[in-house]
Structure formats: structure tokens, C-alpha cells
Amino acid sequence: MRHALRRASVLIALTPMLLLAQDDAPSGQITGNVQMLFQTYQEDTLIGAQVPPSKTGFNAFGNLIYTRGDFSAGMRYESYLDPILGYPGRFRGSGIGYRYAHYSKEKFEVTIGNFYEQFGSGLVLRAYEERQLGIDNALDGFRLILRPAQGVTVKGLVGKQRFDFDSRLINSDGILRAFDGEINLNDAFERWAAVGTRVTLGASFVSRFQPGSTISKDTLVLELPQNVGSWGYRAQVQKGGFQFMGEYVRKINDPNADNGYTYGEGEGILLNAGWSTKGLGINLGFKGVDNMQFRSDRNLQLFDLPVNYIPAITKQHTYNLAATLYPYATVVQGEVGWSAEVFYTIPRKSKLGGKYGTKISFQYATASSLDTTNLSGVDGLVNGYQRNSWRAGEDLYIRDINFDISRKFSKGFKAKYAFFHFDFNTLATPVTTDYKGIVNANVHVVETQVRIKKGHSLRTELQALFTGTDMKEVDGVMTEVKQDKGDWATVLAEYSVSPHWFFSVLDQYNFGNPDPDQRVHYVYGTVGRIEGAHRLSIGYGKRREGIFCIGGVCRAVPASNGFEITFTSSF
């Protein structure tokens, strides 16, 4: 009865939109896409691969979208039977996990049901999906977007975040209420229209309501606030080849599981400046965040119910060894970091540039703990610490220095060399249990792509990672010992027969492991076929246990051995 009433209420809510959409609207159109992932498991004690009770995993979803004129509606059907290992284990069953209706006119848009949204860079609000990490914090409620004047956009929304899935969508208990305003001065005011400098200003406010409770600390009984607010201001400036973006955010006292239920306020700054001209680009960045993690449930951690998004200061790497062995995750409790990037193209037909030109890039990025002083007594129990400045603190979290050079030598051959140096704190981002401290690692990559004949190409990657050494006492003698699991190598070969077939083999080999029994080859092969919008791939082999990261957000992935079948299609 309850589900029938829910369906009826949705239909009643949709009726005004459906009626509006009928007026002078063209015939409706249906589009969508499907993705399925099926994986088998077999035990492998050498790499620690285990077999779940179901012996297989299956993740799938299908989107169906109906559009007619200014009206659109859609739904996503999801299946986790049982979920792939490494995905949130509580996702189970099959059902509708996302549904919405949307109506748009020139001056306004309204959405009911589920939607994704981001204010500015996301420091106060980012509702998004990253399916590979199992993250989906879509909002469920109402959103109104108004454009009262040219260059002016105002957004308002109320909703709850997606939290779980058990044959149906399950939302959080906390209620979010948010507003955002943005104005482009050049479009909004006539006197700015002819100005060469383009300026956009914005401001946001996000509030979470969650029924309050109390927490005990020693002899203190502290009341947790029911309403927590966060707000921010941002500006973008562009003139010629120069661009600047700055955002400042704050959050009132928000005792939660991330900060140990302390009452200090949160604060964050994000600055990016860039300049580019033909063949040359320079980007500089600064990030400082202090106690800015915000969730719609104060008692959760890790990947659950993030309201905002704190981006990583480091580059998102794509090469196997650089991306999977020491991937950096943002320390949400607080960090300060800097970055600098330079891109340069040596002109073609020059002595150094060659016939087609040569591309060079360099990046330096670092993140450290905050400069803080721990408080004592009652003040320490309530507020925890005091930040002294935005200077770096005592603990280095990551230092990432990377360089690459790529060149096209002929119509059928191009090559690239990349170098990465990491000083990586495994206590800040616990990617390994074998080493606690700073790992020093150097990665070398040589990538080539050869066009063998029309429609046939071969791409290869040769990678090697070398860790630093520490002095340790072994059998009473001080000896140099490799850090963490020692040295690694990866070989990748991808053969493509355009436009339909592709084949690949990857071997990740821990040849420098201090334990000879752990010098394992992780070999994985894939074959696939593409037919227009349809793609099928079948893979088999071993995958090592590790951390998978995207944009500074990471998830632990267990070791596995078995088949993997993936199918994607759109229509």
C-alpha cells in the first residue's frame, strides 16, 4: 500500500509538467544506455584472492530517458547480484536507483526526483557519481534554477542524499537545503560588455539538518548541533591568455566522526592561475582546507554521504605503476598544498622539434599537514586544535614531481617518455600495510604507438618503479633494505584492428619484493569487439590488492583472479 501511494504521489506531481509539455511540443524521443559487468572468482592464496559465497559478482545498470520538447523524464534500473568485490558490499538486489522529471524554459528550470549538482569547484556542494569507485551521492528532492536577467543564474534546492541500495533507493536521514547565485558581469551590464576582461562572481550556501543528540567526552556532555551551515564565495577572471579562479569557503562548528566530534569551524581556500600562449602554458595552484569535510550524516566516514568535494592538488596519473601503487588521496581533516605546471611545444620543423613538433610538460605538487597547535584541557576536548597559519606543518603527505616528453617521428610512429618521483606518506594515505612512513619512488615509462598498416596499430608501455632504501639491522648487521614491497615492472601491449577488434595483455611484476615468494606476475589479458555504440570485452587474469583513486578519492580493491565480462551499449 505504501509503495502504491508513493507511485501515485509521483504521478500527481508529474501531471502539471506533462500538461505543459504537450503544448506545441514535437513527438517524444527515447534514449538510453546499458552497462553490465560480470566477474568470476577463484582462490589464489599467493596473491590473497578469495572467493565470495556467490562465487561471482554482477553489477549492471540501464538508463532510460524520455524527451519531448521542454520536458524530460528518466530512470536508472540497477542490479547488484552480488556486487563486484571492492564495491560497497551493502549494495544488493535490483530496482530503480535514480528517477527524475525535468521541465525547462528560457527563464527557469525545475527538477523533481534525483539530480546531480555542483556549486563552484564543489568545496561546499558536489552531488555526483563516480561509478568505478561506487560513489553516488545524488540528491533526491526539488531543484529550481532561475535566470531572471541575462548573465544571472540563481539555484535553490532541497533534498536528501542517496546513501544505500537494497532493491530500491535508500536516502540519508539528513536534509540538505542549498542556494547558489552567479553573475557574469560582462553579460549582465552593458558597460562591461565591451571590456576585454571577463569576470564572473558567485556565492553559495548549504545547510544540513539532522536531529541532534549528545556526546560524552570525559566529564563533559556536549550537545551536537541540528543545523550546520557552510558557505562560500568565488570569482573567475579571464583576459586574453590569462585566467584566475579563486574560492573561499567556511563552515560553522560541525562535530562529526571525521574530526573526532570537535567543535572547531572549517575553512578552505582554493586558488588557480594560468597563462597560455601559442606553444606555452603555465598553471599555478594553492589549496588549503581545514576541517571542511561535510556529510549529510555526521556519524559516517570514508565514502559515505559527502556533501562537498575536496580536490587533490596532485595530477591524476593514468600510467599503471604511477596510478595504482602510490595514488594520493586528499586528507579530508585538513591539508595545505601547492602545484605548478608548465606545458611547452617545441615548434615543428625546428632542429629540436622535428617534423611534427615535440611536446614537453613538467609538474610539481606537494601537500602537507596544517600548521597547528594542539589545545589542552576543556578547550582541547571541545575544539581539538588551533590553526596558526596556512603554512605547511611538520608532516609531508605527498611530493609529486613528474616530467614527460612526446614526439611524433612519422605518420606511423610516435613515442613518449615519462618520469615520476614520489615522496609518499603511507600514514596519510594507507595504501600499504608493509611500510609506515615516507616511501621514495621513481617511475620510468616508455610508451610507443606504431601504425602497422591501415586499420592496424600497436601501442606498448614499458614501465619500471624503483623504491628507495632504508638502513635496518639484519642479523646484527646494518643493511640497506628496499622500502615497502620493493621494485615493480609493468609491460602493456594493445593491438587494435579498426574499427571492430582490440586485444591487450598486461603484466605487473613485483620483481624487487624482499620476499622471493611474493615476486608475482599479475598477468591480465583482454579481447573485445566494438560494433557502433556497442562494446563487448572479455578479460582473464590476476589483479593485485590495492587502492584505486580518481581525483583524490580512493577505494580499497581486493586481490582477484578470474574472468571479467563487460558490455556497454547506448541508443
pLDDT along the chain (571 residues), means of 10: 44 43 67 96 90 93 96 96 85 95 95 97 94 90 97 97 94 96 94 89 97 84 93 96 97 93 95 96 97 93 90 91 91 94 94 92 97 92 93 95 96 96 93 89 98 94 95 79 94 95 96 92 96 96 84 81 96 93
Beta strand residue intervals within 252-384, DSSP E: 266-277, 280-290, 334-346, 358-374
**Which three three-digit cell numbers place residue 37?**
559487468
- As beta bridge partners, residue 279 has none
Of residues 333, 298, 302, 303, the one with CA closest to residue 215 = 298
Q: How far apart are CA 470 and CA 438, in angstroms?
A: 10
SS3 65: strand
**Which three three-digit cell numbers place residue 492?**
602493456
Q: How far apart are CA 541 and CA 563, in angstroms?
A: 7
Using CA atoms in the order 479, 480, 485, 490, what is the torsion angle rounded to 10 degrees? -140
pLDDT of residue 13: 42
Q: Can you tell me which residue has the cell 597559519? A: 389
Q: How far apart are CA 23 and CA 30, in angstroms?
A: 19
Using CA atoms in the order 185, 190, 196, 197, what is the torsion angle rounded to 10 degrees? -10
Of residues 505, 481, 509, 483, the one with CA closest to residue 494 = 505
Instruction: Give yes or no for a contact between 554 and 330, defined as CB atoms under 8 angstroms apart.
Output: no
Q: How far apart are CA 377 and CA 393, in angstroms?
A: 23
**CB-based contacts of 194: which residues, under 8 Å, 6+ apart?**
none
Instruction: Give yes or no for a contact between 390 and 371, defined as CB atoms under 8 angstroms apart.
Output: yes
In the chain, count H helices and then E strands.
5, 35
Other residues' Cβ atoms within 10 Å of the Cβ of residue 226: 12
Instruction: Give yes or no for a contact between 387 and 374, defined as CB atoms under 8 angstroms apart.
Output: no
Instruction: Give yes or no for a contact between 443 and 319, defined as CB atoms under 8 angstroms apart.
Output: yes
Instruction: Give yes or no for a contact between 463 and 443, defined as CB atoms under 8 angstroms apart.
Output: yes
| Helix residue ranges, H only, 368-527 | 377-383
SS3 282: strand
Between the two ends of the chain, the Cα-to-Cα distance in Å is 35
Of residues 434, 415, 403, the one with CA closest to residue 326 = 434
**Which three three-digit cell numbers place residue 400?**
609529486
**Which three three-digit cell numbers place residue 316?**
591524476
**Which three three-digit cell numbers place residue 40?**
568470476
Phi and psi at residue 320, in whole multiples of 5°? Answer: -50, -55
Q: Is 514 left (phi over 0), alpha (psi -120 to 50) or beta?
A: alpha
Other residues' Cβ atoms within 10 Å of the Cβ of residue 486: 20
Q: How far apart are CA 21 and CA 15, in angstroms?
A: 10
**CB-based contacts of 22: which residues, under 8 Å, 6+ apart?**
none
Phi and psi at residue 5, in whole multiples of 5°? Answer: -65, -35
**Which three three-digit cell numbers place residue 520?**
608475482
pLDDT of residue 27: 83
C-alpha atoms less than 13 angstroms from C-alpha of 396 in its C-beta half-sphere: 13
Q: How far apart are CA 289 and CA 259, in angstroms?
A: 13
Q: How far apart are CA 99 and CA 459, in angstroms?
A: 41
**Which three three-digit cell numbers place residue 145?**
534554477
Instruction: Give yes or no for a contact between 143 and 117, defined as CB atoms under 8 angstroms apart.
Output: yes
Handedness of CA 120, 124, 127, 133 (dihedral sign): positive
Q: Which pTM was predicted?
A: 0.88
DSSP 466-505: EE-EEEEEETTEEEEEESTT--EEEEEEEEEETTTEEEEE
Q: How far apart are CA 198 and CA 190, in angstroms?
A: 13
Instruction: Give yes or no for a contact between 41 and 67, defined as CB atoms under 8 angstroms apart.
Output: no
- Give a three-class secondary structure readout of 548-559: EEECCEEEEECC
**Which three three-digit cell numbers place residue 515?**
620476499
Beta strand residue intervals within 134-241, DSSP E: 135-136, 139-146, 152-165, 169-171, 175-184, 198-209, 214-217, 220-223, 227-239
**CB-based contacts of 497: which residues, under 8 Å, 6+ apart?**
455, 456
**CB-based contacts of 65: which residues, under 8 Å, 6+ apart?**
30, 31, 32, 72, 73, 74
